[in-house]
Amino acid sequence: MISVRDGQNQILAQISEPTPPELLPVTRARERVLAEDLRAPFDVPPTDNSAVDGYAVASGDVPATGTRDLDVVAELPAGAVYDGLLASGQAVRIMTGAPMPHGADTVYPQEVVERRGGLVRVGPTRKSANVRMRGEDIQAGTIVIERGTVLRPQELGLIASLGRWQVLVHRRPRVALLSTGDEVVEPGMPRKAGQIYDANRFTLRGSIEQCGGEVLDLGIVPDVRDELRARLLEAADVGDIVVTSGGVSVGVLDLVKEVLHEIGAIDFWQVAMQPGRPLAFGRIKSAHFFGLPGNPVASMLAFMLFVRPAIFKLAGRRRLFPDTAEATAVEPMSKRKGRREFKRGVVQWRNGRWEARITGPQGSGILSSMAAGNCLIVLEEDRGDVAAGETVLVEPF
């Protein structure tokens, strides 16, 4: 048996190079991973500018006490720039964000002054009031967004504000996906006695898409040695990663093992976890291979624990693991020491705290336990049964 952590480390150690970069328009880069350190090509803001609608003046004209009348020499609409040099006794009407006129260093908000015809009456204020300084947000040349960042809408806006319309992002990792088993049939087709509809290819393709991979769906392979070998070789030709489900336990027809020993370098692991103990990991040609268990909950969980961080690393992401939080167990939970258990749970803010409960029966084939839940409740190896009121770790999904 190996621990979850050791398994994860061994897998990540095999993934050295991220996928190559490609240039994409910003409009198509959401959820992609930045493949360059994005630097500011100019100061932001590019010039000193006004933080308010009001009047720009030279601080030398600001009265220490009482008031002073200044000549309004220009009215600048948004986007207009004052070319002249502001002389003593003068003010310019200015809009939020407009560049400060030469000679001006202070702005009065329009609400605090009195405008009379061509004059504006001003009182004491602080030098540089209501001026945003050139480069106060970002200085030219500094890194604004680091390589390995997943681009959310706010990053896209930031990139656009720097004048860029294209960015370098990592190519999506290609994940070839197969279900195995003579009993597994395609949804939409008639189902004979003894057959089950394929669930795993659908949870897994959704999971692959969710974490930024491109799915290459190679369908269902029957438990026939030559066919399995051919499909796995084909999968390794098209995918950076090959994922199968089923066929890694110890049944007579669990051919995945045998075939993989012929065509690749594969380890078979018993991971100290529940659900989802058996896992195959290795290589077929240049592709990374994951053989996930057949039970639907186990295959999805094994994906979350082992395949997702691998896809993330291949995609160039900096963060490979999700955040966890603490919650209070509101019911007892059975737990066997020596393995990590993952209950499907519901976590809710109640009674002034995060409360966690289990979603009914937890069998590894009961996919509805995943659908009813919004988190994994993670119970560590050295822990025994959990009593109501104890603190548990939750990982929202």
Residues forming contacts to ligand AMP in the complex (CB under 6 A) are 179, 181, 183-184, 196, 198-201, 245-249, 251, 293-296
DSSP character at residue 87: P
| Bridge partner residues of 226 (DSSP) | none
Q: Which does 183 bind (CB under 5 to 8 A by kind): ligand AMP, Mg ion, none?
A: ligand AMP
**Given the complex with Mg ion, which of 8 and 200 has the nearer CB atom?**
200
Residue 302 Cβ vs ligand AMP, minimum distance, rounded to whole Å = 11
274 binds, among Mg ion, ligand AMP, none (CB under 5 to 8 A by kind): none
CB of 142 to ligand AMP, least distance (A): 49
Site for Mg ion in 176-195 (CB under 5 A): 181
- Report the partner that residue 19 touches, choosing among ligand AMP, Mg ion, none (CB closer than 5 to 8 A by kind): none
In the complex, least distance from residue 293 CB atom to ligand AMP, rounded to whole angstroms: 5
Position of minimal CB gap to ligand AMP = 294
- 240 contact choice in ligand AMP, Mg ion, none (CB below 5 to 8 Å, kind-dependent): none
What's the min distance (Å) between Cβ of 315 and ligand AMP? 25
Closest C-alpha among 36, 33, 319, 21 to residue 162 = 36
Under the binding rule (CB under 5 A), the answer on residue 278 touching Mg ion is no
Q: Measure CA 7 to chain center.
A: 23
Smallest separation (angstroms) from Mg ion to the CB of 184: 7
Q: Which is nearer to ligand AMP, 122 or 178 (CB)?
A: 178
In angstroms and rounded to an integer, the radius of gyration of the C-alpha atoms of the chain is 31
Residue 246 or 291: the one with the smaller Cβ distance to Mg ion is 246
Instruction: Tell me whether residue 37 or residue 182 sits nearer to ligand AMP (CB atom).
Output: 182
Phi, psi of 168 (to 5 degrees): -85, 125
Judged by beta carbon, residue 178 or residue 310, the one nearer ligand AMP is: 178
Sequence-distant (≥ 6) Cβ neighbours of residue 28 within 8 angstroms:
none
Are 206 and 212 in contact, with CB atoms under 8 Å apart?
Answer: no
Helices (H), 296-388: 296-302, 308-314, 368-371
Tokens of residue 131, six digits: 């001026």
Shortest reach from residue 388's CB to Mg ion, in Å? 38
Choose between 99 and 181: whose C-beta lies nearer to Mg ion: 181
Q: Considering beta carbons, is residue 181 or 373 the nearer one to ligand AMP?
A: 181
Query: CA 152 to CA 19: how far, in whole Å?
Result: 20
CB of residue 235 vs ligand AMP: minimum separation in angstroms?
15
249 binds, among ligand AMP, Mg ion, none (CB under 5 to 8 A by kind): ligand AMP
Q: Which is nearer to ligand AMP, 149 or 364 (CB)?
A: 364
User: Least Å distance between CB 279 and ligand AMP?
Assistant: 11
The alpha carbon of residue 142 and the mean position of all alpha carbons in its chain are separated, in whole angstroms, by 23
Lookup result for tokens 């994860």:
8
Q: Across the beta sheet with 241-245, what order do the strands follow?
A: 214-221, 174-180, 241-245, 287-292, 278-284, 264-270
CB 248 within 8 A of CB 291: yes
Q: Cβ closer to ligand AMP: 140 or 196? A: 196
Q: Which does 101 bind (CB under 5 to 8 A by kind): Mg ion, ligand AMP, none?
A: none
* Interface with Mg ion in residues 207-266 (CB under 5 A): 246-247
> Nearest distance from residue 267's CB to ligand AMP, in Å?
17
Please enumerate in sequence order all residues whose Cβ is within 8 A of that of 315, keeping only pairs 6 or more positions apart, or say none. 18, 19, 33, 170, 172, 173, 211, 212, 213
Q: Which residues have a Cβ under 8 Å from the Cβ of 193 and sit 6 or more positions away? A: none
Partner whose footprint covers residue 364, from ligand AMP, Mg ion, none (CB < 5 to 8 Å by kind):
none
Q: What does the alpha-carbon distance between residue 120 and residue 108 come to, in Å, rounded to a whole number? A: 10
Q: Are 358 and 377 in contact (CB under 8 A)?
A: yes
Instruction: Tell me which residues touch Mg ion (CB under 5 A).
Output: 181, 246-247
